[in-house]
Structures are given as C-alpha cells and as structure tokens.
Chain A
Amino acid sequence: MPTESADKRQGGQASEHVTLADDELYRALASTQRRRLLHLLLVSDAGAMSVDKLVTLLSGWTATDSGAAVSPDEHARTRIALTHVHLPRLEKLGLIEYDPDGGTVDVATVDPAVATLIERSVGGDRSARQ
C-alpha cells in the first residue's frame, strides 16, 4: 500500500515510515546539506549526535569540498540553517528526532529503502567530484 504513509501524515500522525512513494521525501532530499545530515546520522552508531558536532562535520565537509577555510560567520550561518530549516523539516517528515532544548539529533526508524536512497545520494555526490 504505497500511499499509506502519506495518508497517515495528513491524518496528523507522525509519519514514522516515510516511503519512496512520498513526494515530500524527494523535496527533503533536494538539498546537499540535508542529504549529508541524514547520512551522518544514519551511519553514526553513537546514537544521538549533538547539533554542535553536526554543524562542525557539515562545515568540515564544505571546507574539504572547496579547498578553502570555513569562517566563523559561515559556521554561524550553517548552524542557523540547521536549527531553523533543515532539522525541523526532516523531523516533520519523521526521518529524525530533534530535541532543540538538549541540542541533540537522533535518526528515527527509517524505511530501509529510504535509507539506501540517502546512502546512494551522498555516495553519488562524492564520486561526482572525484
């Protein structure tokens, strides 16, 4: 039943099992930062990750891609985008659990097909620049 999760969400239920048939999934993945964020959470076996660490890892990713340093201003902008845009959006889709007070993020139970898609999207990103 491919449309079930979308129906559930409209009914106000947390969409714990977003599927590949969900348009919103593709919109959420149409951002390098969000794909990287999800990848880091999916492969990390340390459980919840702090927002600080995620911002540092994403800044490091930007720096190694560009060959330039990431400045304090850029770092601050990344944090704002994360806490105001990316994390709330991924949480709304049921892909992550975000605790703004504790400053931690954990990955939710993700449909294995969705997890594979995320993995591949980051892997493709990498091979494209090498």
Chain B
Amino acid sequence: MTTLGSLLTAVERREHAFTIFRGEEPTEVEALFDRHGIAFDVQPIPAGGPDPFVLVETDGEFAGVLGVAELEWLLDPPIVPPGDRDGISAGYRAVFDVFDQTVFTALRRRPLLAVSREIEDRAYRVGLGTLRVSFQTFSTFRSQVDVYRTLATETGLDIHIYGVDDWEPPAIPGVTYHAVEGGASGAGRLERYWVLAFDGGGEGQSCGLVAEETVDGYTGFWTSEADIVEDIAAALTST
C-alpha cells in the first residue's frame, strides 16, 4: 500500500542535478539550497552575459532553467487568497514547475502556504474535481475557513478536509471533514503530514503537495505529475 512516507522516499530517489550559473558573486540561492538540503554545482557566466540562473536536470535530462531572481519567492513568498493573482510574478508558477518532485528539507510554513495557494488556485480556476487537504489538525484549518468557504461556494469542487479532531469546523456545503486519530502509530501518522491533492477535474491540472513535519521544519515536495497526485490522494483516503 502506498503511504505518504513511501511516496516521499520514492521521490527522494529521483536524480536531480542543480547548477547555478553566475558571475564572481555568490547568489542568495546558494545559501537557500544549503539550508534546504539541496546539493548543487556552480558554473561561471562569461562577463557581460545573462543574469544568474539555475539549471535543473532530472534523471540526466534537461528539466528547466530559471532566473535566480525568480527563486526569491522561496525566501519570501507572497501570500494571496486563491483567485487573486494580481502582482504574482510569472516566476511563482515557474518555480512550481521547475522544482517538481524535488525534496526540500527544513521548509518553513510560508513557502508551504505559497505552494498550497498555487494548488488551491489551480483548483479554483478549473472549478471541478476533487481537492483533498490534510491540515494535520482541524484547529490549523481554522485560519483557512474563509478561503475554503470561497472555494466551496464559488466552484463545483468536491473538497475533503483531513485532520485530528481537536476543534469543530463549521459545516460548509461541498466540504466533507474526515477526522483522523492522533498518536504516533496507525492512522495517527497523518497528523505529521501537510498534504494537498487536486485531481485536475479532468483538465490535466493535477497537482499535489506532501510535507512531513520534522524537528527541523518540514521535509516535502510538490508535483504536477497526475500519477503521483493519484497516489497522494490514495494514501490520504486509505488512512
């Protein structure tokens, strides 16, 4: 059976190579990668060439290049409600694509919130399909009630919320709550995971996030790969 833990392990096994191209000056991205457990190489850019950028290769194949400036949202991500995309750089969505299935360690809540917003926003725009979200605890969901009320009332989305039953969430048409038991074993392990899975509503917009809370922030990844998103949803529903 696929579990959230085994999904993380499987994604971790993929080979990602990151190369930072830059001039003489180190970039902030190097410190960022160090902090999040991402190994990288550095290559020089000839004088007068492009601004610094990152090359990503997955399993030996070109996966993408992105300007270092666009990676800044990982340091200081914008937080906006779904559907409100004003002022979001193209780099925001690009980072989502370029770092598909890259396992980050020591993630803080803000970048995870930004990634969650991106997934919620895709679900909002498609307006159909199933969105499953684990908030770890229902009390964590409290600050997001308005966001999800909007998602549920303005779209035809089927929304499922998972978490430890430590607070009574309000009834919202279109939202189903699944209380999980707390504790270190069995279903209670879900308590450690921040998870989103949107099935794309049949429009090829699948996307998901799995992040496990550790002593040092979260270790997790996001993806737009439909098969993996299906596995994430299956791992959630089987708990």
CB within 8 Å of B: which residues of A? Answer: 36, 39-40, 43-44, 56-57, 59-61, 63-72, 75, 119, 122-123, 126
Main secondary structure of the interface of A (DSSP, over half): helix
Contact between B61 and A68, CB atoms less than 8 A apart: no
Best-buried of A43, A61, A126 by chain B (most CB within 10 Å): A61
Residues of B contacting A39 in the complex (Cβ-Cβ under 8 angstroms): 46, 48-49
Contact between B48 and A126, CB atoms less than 8 A apart: yes
Main secondary structure of the interface of B (DSSP, over half): mixed
Contact between B94 and A68, CB atoms less than 8 A apart: yes
Contact of B21 among A60, A119, A122 (CB under 8 A): A60
Residues of B contacting A65 in the complex (Cβ-Cβ under 8 angstroms): 50
CB within 8 Å of A: which residues of B? Answer: 21, 45-53, 55, 61-70, 89-91, 94-95, 97-98
A39-B48, A43-B48 given; A56·B21 CB < 8 A? yes
Contact between B48 and A61, CB atoms less than 8 A apart: no
Contact between B98 and A72, CB atoms less than 8 A apart: no
Contact of A64 among B63, B67, B90, B98 (CB under 8 A): B67
Contact between A57 and B45, CB atoms less than 8 A apart: yes
Q: When chains A and B are docked, how far (Å) is the Cα of A123 from the Cα of B62?
A: 29
A39 (CB) vs chain B CBs: closest residue: B48
